[in-house]
A = this chain, B = another copy of it.
Amino acid sequence: MQFEGSHILSVNQLDLDSINTIFNIANKMTPYALREKRTKVLEGAILGNLFFEPSTRTRVSFGCAFNLLGGHVRETTGMASSSLSKGESLYDTARVLSTYSDVIAMRHPDAYSVKEFAEGSRVPVINGGDGPNEHPTQALLDLFTIKKELSHSGMGIDGMHIAMVGDLKYGRTVHSLSRLLCMHKDIQFTLISPSELAMPDYVIADIENAGHKITITEQLEGNLHQADILYLTRIQEERFPSQEEANKYRGKFRLNHNIYTQHCKSNTVIMHPLPRDSRAQANELDNDLNSHPSLAIFRQADNGLLIRMALFALTLGVENQLEKYECPVNWYSRKADR
Restricting to A269-286, which residues have a CB under 8 Å from any CB of B?
Answer: 274-279, 282
Q: Which residues from chain B contact A122 at a C-beta distance below 8 Å?
A: 334, 337
* A20 close to chain B: CB less than 8 A: no
Q: Which B residues lie within 8 Å of A74 (CB)?
A: 60, 63-64, 67, 73
What B residues does A98 contact at CB under 8 A?
A: 334
Interface residue? A42 (CB, 8 A):
yes
Contact A275 B86 (CB under 8 A): yes
Asked if A276 and B318 sit within 8 Å, CB to CB, the answer is no
- Asked whether any CB of chain B lies closer than 8 Å to the CB of A193, the reply is no
Known: A70-B44, A87-B277, A100-B61. A54 touches B35 (CB 8 A): no
Is the Cβ of B302 less than 8 Å from the Cβ of A99?
A: yes
> Within the complex, what minimum Cβ distance (angstroms) separates A116 from chain B?
12
For chain A, which range describes its interface: under 10, 10 to 19, 20 to 34, or 35 or more residues?
35 or more
Q: Are A76 and B56 in contact (CB under 8 A)?
A: yes
User: Which of B46, B60, B89, B315 sits near A332, CB closer than 8 Å?
Assistant: B315
Measured CB to CB, the closest approach of chain B to A220, in angstroms, equals 21
Minimum C-beta distance from A151 to chain B (A): 21
In the complex where A64-B100, A91-B287 touch, is A331 in contact with B316 (Cβ < 8 A)? yes
A27 on interface, CB distance cutoff 8 Å: no
Q: Which residues of B contact A330 (CB under 8 A)?
A: 41, 318, 321, 325
| Minimum CB–CB distance for A90 against chain B, Å | 9
A-B contact pairs, 14 of them (CB 8 A): A4-B332, A33-B99, A42-B331, A60-B74, A63-B100, A86-B275, A87-B276, A89-B287, A92-B275, A92-B276, A95-B301, A122-B337, A123-B334, A318-B331
